[in-house]
Amino acid sequence: MRQYGESDTGGSKKRTITALFARYVCIYTAGALFWLFIIGAVYFICDVTGEVLPANHMEVQLNAAADEIQNAPEITEELLPDGCAYGVYADDGTWKYGTFSSEEKKEAWEHYEMNHIYASGREYYRFFVREEEEICIVEYEIATRFRNQLLGKFLPGPDMLAVFSFVVLFLVHTILVSRHFGKYMRKRLNILNEMTTKIRNQDLEFGEEHSELKEVDEVLMSLYQMKEALKDSLYQQWNLEKSKEEQIAALAHDIKTPLTIIRGNAELLAEGELGEEEKDYNQDVLISVSTIEEYLQMLNEILMDSIQKNDIRKNGIFIDEFVDNLKERCRILAVVSHCQIYFRENDLYREELYQIFCNESQILRAFDNILSNAVDYSPQGGKIEVQAEIVKEQGRNYLAVVVTDEGPGFTKEGLKYATEQFYQGDKSRNSKNHYGIGLCTAERFAREQGGYLAVGNAGIKGAKVTLFIVLYQHKNE
């Protein structure tokens, strides 16, 4: 049994997602503490070795240099720690010299008069009374610094650098742990996607799968049970369909017996002395029997899967010959129905000679279905018009066979679903022995030949169905 980077866990102790999540939380926390320890250790080493100066290093240096500052003839920057600013005043507050800016001069003297050593932020003042009746005010900072001035120039202070480093490492650690957790879960959940894809594609020949995660394993078990139920259901459906096909095939075979009797009797009658009208009737019977036999043959071929979807037998037929066949079918149906059927040709014969390259039997059957529908929905004695013409649609030539009746026409729903199988339209018309198969079959046959079917209404009253058949220009050899 296939597993994903693990041994068969069907009977072993399984993890829960809660426990797995807690494990990753511990790993995440331990990693954050590890980086915090590393940064703290580096900072401690730098502090011990003197690479990082303590926060009060300026204050310590000022204390050490206090006597020299008070007794030196003149205050210079060399007497003070690096980074300090200073100003020298007379005892009455008159500015003498120093490095303070114009604003700092006044502010520093005011702090001296108030004996207030706090300046702003991390900066403080130190006051020195000199022997020459001078007051020296030094501004210094309480903050850690790098001993290396180059580092201090391009990097933030050691404290800020440590905080910034921890934030960056913490974010990197977060991304790595989350990616690892996502990869781990994706690997365990991928089996669910594969199993659902197989079920969706009805590929049900796979065994039971397991996962080391308890919740995923439960879902896998549910999917496996659903697969088994679906498999049983499909087998029952397939067996039922097979049984129906066998029954239809047997029925189609049995129909041949009465058809043979009808054909035999009609042929015997044709050998006798019949009037002209009786001969026409007898000939119509023989033609109808031949048509039924063609339908039965096609049904048998479909049931036996001898006709493949893309292996439709086609042959070329000239447009005039094909139209004559349509006329003959209209004449026969008009004789046996209660309707008047009129056939019109509109500019069919041009200088170009056109052919229809199709399975003629299927196309004629499509036309028969359309015409039979028109008869079914037409009133007693109603008029049905059939018009054949050549039209151009989307750059191709078609033979358009338009069948118009005087029935109630299509409803809005009917226009949308008329070509769907078993759609019967208005329920009040179900008494016409119409089972919603004719137009569906007609459209399927039309599309198999490269054409299509269009349904609509003729106007105020009546339906209009158009069969479009692709035409090919005949080339003389």
Overall size of the chain counted in residues = 477
Q: In which element (H, E) is residue 96 found? A: strand 95-98
CA atoms of 326 and 343, how far apart (whole Å): 9
Model confidence over 376-397: pLDDT tens digits?
888 888 899 999 998 888 888 8
Q: Quick one: tokens of 44?
A: 């401690």
Name residue, tokens 């292996």: 311
CA atoms of 456 and 306, how far apart (whole Å): 35
Model confidence over 268-301: pLDDT tens digits?
888 888 888 888 888 888 888 888 877 777 677 6
% of the chain exceeding 70 in pLDDT: 88
The pTM score is 0.44
Q: What is the DSSP letter of 423?
A: -
Q: Does residue 142 contact residue 59 with C-beta atoms inside 8 Å? A: yes
Alpha-carbon distance values, 403 to 215, 397, 425, 434 (Å):
63, 19, 18, 18
Q: Quick one: tokens of 299?
A: 């049904």
Q: Quick one: tokens of 116?
A: 């207030």
Give the residue, 470 or 253, on which the prediction is more confident.
470
CA atoms of 388 and 372, how far apart (whole Å): 17
Q: In which element (H, E) is residue 315 found? A: strand 315-318
CA atoms of 285 and 293, how far apart (whole Å): 12
Which residues face 384 on adjacent strands?
Answer: 341
Model confidence over 299-325: pLDDT tens digits?
776 665 444 444 455 678 888 888 999
Mean pLDDT (the chain) is: 81
In this prediction, residue 205 carries a pLDDT of: 77
Q: Does residue 357 contact residue 315 with C-beta atoms inside 8 Å? A: yes
CA atoms of 30 and 37, how far apart (whole Å): 10
In this prediction, residue 424 carries a pLDDT of: 58
Model confidence over 393-407: pLDDT tens digits?
888 888 999 999 988
In this prediction, residue 307 carries a pLDDT of: 44
